[in-house]
Amino acid sequence: MAFTFQINNDVVWDYDENLLERAEANIPELIETKVCPTGIVERISADQRTNEFTLAKSQKNILHLSDYALGRGESLILDLGDHYVGHFSIEINSVGSPMDAPLYLRLKFAEVPSELYAASEDYDGWLSRSWIQEEHVHLDVLPAKLQLPRRYSCRYVELSVIDTSPKWKASFSNPLFVAESSVSMNQLSDSTIEDAELKAIYNVSVKTLQDCMQTVFEDGPKRDRRLWLGDLRLQALANYYTFNDLFLVKRCLYLFGGMRTTEGKIPANVFTAPELTPDDTFLFDYSLFFITTLYDYVQHTSDYDALENLYPIAKKAIDLALEQVDSEGRLVLSEEWPVFVDWSNDFDKATAGQAIVIYTLKRFIKLAEMYNDQQHSNYHQMLEKLIDFSKQALFDNKRKQFVVEETNEVNLASQVWMVLAEVFDSNKNKKIMQETIKQHFPITGIATPYMYHHIVEALFMADCQEEAIRLMKDYWGKMIDLGADTFWEAFKPEDLDFSPYGSPILNSYCHAWSCTPAYLIGKYLLANE
């Protein structure tokens, strides 16, 4: 089971106005920064390039931009010098004879060069092509200042003149990108990372997080531009070790708390415009992450007011999830409420799902204790049952690995989540991860930094620090080698063009769940110094 479009028209929503008011009271004011392009770049021809992540520096000088007037079929690419999220404007004039026809212009905004190499019209994937950051505009009268209303997430802006007339050309000047985020790099304290590779990974993680921090923690400022629970959990963790913007986490927790189904199910994501709207998409593990995100937040902030307000919602959410656990302590998943774990469909997620319930229930019990819930002993019994079942029915002593009950399948995600859930003690977890390295490394077939995050964290937790650092460098470091300014939603080192959507033009190249090295480095490497 994996993520696909869900349409659940019969869901009845329960809006809690009191909680939603608290969410709205914490809307941040966005910080604006003016960015001027730093250069002009060009495509590299197919026979000259080794991958689609590089462009060549142009001979053209950005300081003389207005001299490079463009006629029919001509284009140039502005380079902002880094990845930003915000609004673009540019002044345009006509040069030559009088303007005897409108200017027909295409603007394309790209986070990485591969979006420029891909022809938009060839896209035939399953997600909407409306995500492609591209505009076609007519300007009847020049000079004019073109101020585009849409927000873009990009480093490159391509200006392509579709047509002028043989009598005149279009000349461009004063391109300006006004970048937006709810946080500023000035809020960071100096990090003391000596290892150059890790420092670079840390910096790109922080930039990724910054660009995703808007009026909510967005999953991707290019796509899907909304608040997903699974992404929020990881962004909040990275935020605690970096910007430490507690209001934005609080806002997002209240948004989920204020919009759930009448039975108490928490949606996988919510929209905030034109009005607060929950999406009719439900992922079993994402619903549970409301509880773990609340736990992390209360632990970090001691905000007992939030605990008071949101604990009843967390309790309903765990109760609903535990209804899926049978009398032997086995999680029985359903098609209507699938567990996500990763984009890949090539492995069975049942055992990882079981571990996520244990991981969450442990944290819920701590919340129940903080809240002084008198009824929490039932949860302890349930936890024991889930753990006993996992140890007895799901752990294969000979293979030293967790299996999937029905098929005996041994997969990476099962080991990783069972280690994160601390089903066994640290000694045994270390042996499980050492065996995991033997059996499943080098990793193939995993395309999300989301899953890689969990693998690295499991390695750190199982005292395999060297391997954890190696994997971080091999995976996130490889994106940097390819030129990443921010970390990508999907990346398969063994298949650079991989996209879950049928074309890289739809991939998000600044994605929430990829920002976690800032947390991993902060928690497991810097905190110990």
Positions that interact with ligand RAM (CB under 6 A) = 3, 219, 224, 228, 230-231, 340, 489, 513
Nearer to ligand RAM, 111 or 489 (CB): 489
397 burial (CB, 10 Å; 0-12 / 13-18 / 19+) is exposed
Among 434, 323, 305, 438, which Cα is nearest to 382's? 323
The percent helix, strand, coil of the chain (3-state, each to 5) is: 40, 20, 40
Q: Degrees (nearest 5) of the Cα angle 321, 14, 245?
A: 80
Smallest separation, CB 113 to ligand RAM (Å)? 21
Smallest separation, CB 393 to ligand RAM (Å)? 29
Smallest separation, CB 434 to ligand RAM (Å)? 30
Task: Give every CB contact of residue 481 below 8 A, 6+ residues apart in sequence.
Answer: none
Ranked by CB distance to ligand RAM, the top (closest) residue is: 219
Smallest separation, CB 272 to ligand RAM (Å)? 16
Smallest separation, CB 238 to ligand RAM (Å)? 14
Nearer to ligand RAM, 115 or 231 (CB): 231
Q: Degrees (nearest 5) of the Cα angle 481, 482, 485?
A: 90
Task: Give every CB contact of residue 433 below 8 A, 6+ residues apart in sequence.
Answer: 415, 419, 458, 459, 462, 464, 467
Smallest separation, CB 454 to ligand RAM (Å)? 14
Nearer to ligand RAM, 341 or 386 (CB): 341
Structure tokens given for 492: 């398969």
Among 235, 247, 191, which Cα is nearest to 453's? 235
Smallest separation, CB 413 to ligand RAM (Å)? 15
Nearer to ligand RAM, 22 or 260 (CB): 260
Task: Give every CB contact of residue 125 below 8 A, 6+ residues apart in sequence.
Answer: 499, 501, 502, 503, 506
Smallest separation, CB 489 to ligand RAM (Å)? 5
Nearer to ligand RAM, 77 or 112 (CB): 112
Nearer to ligand RAM, 340 or 389 (CB): 340
Smallest separation, CB 133 to ligand RAM (Å)? 16
Smallest separation, CB 18 to ligand RAM (Å)? 28
Nearer to ligand RAM, 37 or 338 (CB): 338
How many Å separate Cα 71 from the centre of its chain?
A: 39
Nearer to ligand RAM, 3 or 68 (CB): 3
* Separation CA 275–CA 271 (nearest Å): 7
How many Å separate Cα 236 from the centre of its chain?
A: 12
- Alpha-carbon distances of 352 from 153, 316, 362, rounded to whole Å: 34, 22, 15
Strand, helix or coil for residue 484:
coil
* Separation CA 473–CA 136 (nearest Å): 40
How many Å separate Cα 11 from the centre of its chain?
A: 26
Among 471, 376, 381, 458, which Cα is nearest to 413's? 458
Smallest separation, CB 516 to ligand RAM (Å)? 13
Nearer to ligand RAM, 109 or 228 (CB): 228
Nearer to ligand RAM, 224 or 485 (CB): 224
Query: Would you say 353 and 285 are in contact if contact means Cβ atoms under 8 Å apart?
Result: yes
Nearer to ligand RAM, 284 or 295 (CB): 284
3-state secondary structure 435-481: HHHHHHCCCCCCCCHHHHHHHHHHHHHCCCHHHHHHHHHHHHHHHHH
